[in-house]
Structure 1
Amino acid sequence: MTITDLVLVLFIAVLLAFAIYDQFIMPRRHGSTLLSVPLLRRSRVDSVIFVGLVLILIYNNITSHGPQTTTWLLCGLVLMGLYLFWIRAPKIIFKQKGFFFANVWIEYSRIKEMNLSEDGVLVMQLEQRRLLVRVRNIDDLEGIYKLLVSSQ
């Protein structure tokens, strides 16, 4: 196995570990889930570029008669990219004492201020940073509001 194959295996393992953590472990951490709200996806241009570049690498490996192991590992990397960028939906998960946003645990006590922008973006001001929560369904903002008011 070449160093290229080892690096590909490492990247696939890291992406698979992230997918397992995001899908199965994170919802079970810090107690039961009170509310899980799907968020809007960011621009998919980066994912198209990533998958396109890996497809170019697959084509180049096939035409230059490279190792089949590398081709299969690149195909696995494409599948992981498609899952993470196109199938998996980002979400905010509310728990009893805090919430997960972008896979980071944030306690309710860290929220200093909350505002709702005109275009339906919930803005949460923390100590040093601002969170912009863009929900997929605008009606979910009412559920978030009720949950945050009842937890205070």
Structure 2
Amino acid sequence: MSLTDGVLVIFIVLMLLYALYDEFGMNLLKGKNLLKIPLKRSNRLDCLIFVGLIAILIYHNLINQGAILTTYLLISLALIAVYIAYIRWPKMLFKSQGFFYANTFIKYQRIKAMNLSEDGILVIDLEQRRLLIQVTQLDDLDKIYHFFVENQ
């Protein structure tokens, strides 16, 4: 196994760990899910560019008759990237002590203010940061509102 193959294996393992954490880990951490809201996808163009660059590497490897293991690893990396960007839905999970947003847990005590913009973006101000939350359906904003009213 070459150094390139080793690096590809490391990236594949890291991406798989991220996908598993996003799909299953957040559901199991910090207690029971009280509310689950799907969010709009972002960075789809970035993934398309990344997969395009990987396709160029696959083509280059095939033309130069490189190692077949490298080709398989590049294809695996591209498939995982497509899963993360196009198949998986980002979500916001509300728990009893806080919520998961962008794979990080934020306690409710950190919220300083909440506002709703005219175009349906929920703005949550934390101590040093502002979260811009775009939901897939506007009805989900009503669910979030009722959740905060009932649980705070």
Alignment TM-score > 0.5, same fold: yes
Q: Which amino acid aligns with 1:73?
A: L
**What secondary structure, in the 3-state scheme, does the structure 1 residue paired with 2:41 have?**
coil
**What secondary structure, in the 3-state scheme, does the structure 1 residue paired with 2:123 have?**
strand
Q: For the residues of structure 2 that align with 1:108 and 1:147, how far apart are their CA atoms? A: 12
The Cα of 1:149 is off from its aligned counterpart by 1.3
2:42 maps to 1:49: no
Residue of structure 2 equivalent to 1:80: 80
Q: What TM-score do the two structures reach when normalised by structure 2?
A: 0.99
Q: Which runs of 5+ in 1 are unaligned?
A: none
Residue of structure 1 equivalent to 2:144: 144
Select between 54-63 and 35-44 the one with higher mean Cα deviation: 35-44
Q: 1:43 to 1:20 in 2, by over 3 A?
A: closer
Q: Which amino acid aligns with 2:32?
A: S
Q: For the residues of structure 1 that align with 2:83 and 2:128, how far apart are their CA atoms? A: 32
Residue of structure 2 equivalent to 1:13: 13
The Cα of 1:135 is off from its aligned counterpart by 0.2
The Cα of 1:44 is off from its aligned counterpart by 1.2
Residue of structure 2 equivalent to 1:36: 36
Equivalent pair of 2:43/2:85 in contact (CA under 8 Å): no
**What secondary structure, in the 3-state scheme, does the structure 2 residue paired with 1:4 have?**
helix
Q: For the residues of structure 1 that align with 2:42 and 2:22, how far apart are their CA atoms? A: 17
Q: For the residues of structure 2 that align with 1:91 and 1:20, how far apart are their CA atoms? A: 14
Q: Which runs of 5+ in 2 are unaligned?
A: none
Q: For the residues of structure 2 that align with 1:30 and 1:78, how far apart are their CA atoms? A: 32
Q: For the residues of structure 2 that align with 1:48 and 1:13, how far apart are their CA atoms? A: 20
Q: Which amino acid aligns with 1:30?
A: K
Q: Which amino acid aligns with 1:21?
A: Y
2:57 maps to 1:25: no
Q: For the residues of structure 1 that align with 2:43 and 2:72, how far apart are their CA atoms? A: 28
Residue of structure 1 equivalent to 2:62: 62
Q: For the residues of structure 2 that align with 1:44 and 1:60, how far apart are their CA atoms? A: 24
Provide the aligned C-alpha RMSD in A. 0.6
- Matched ranges for 1:84-103 at <5 A: 84-103=84-103
Q: Which runs of 4+ in 1 moved over 2 A?
A: none
The Cα of 1:150 is off from its aligned counterpart by 1.5
The Cα of 1:43 is off from its aligned counterpart by 3.7
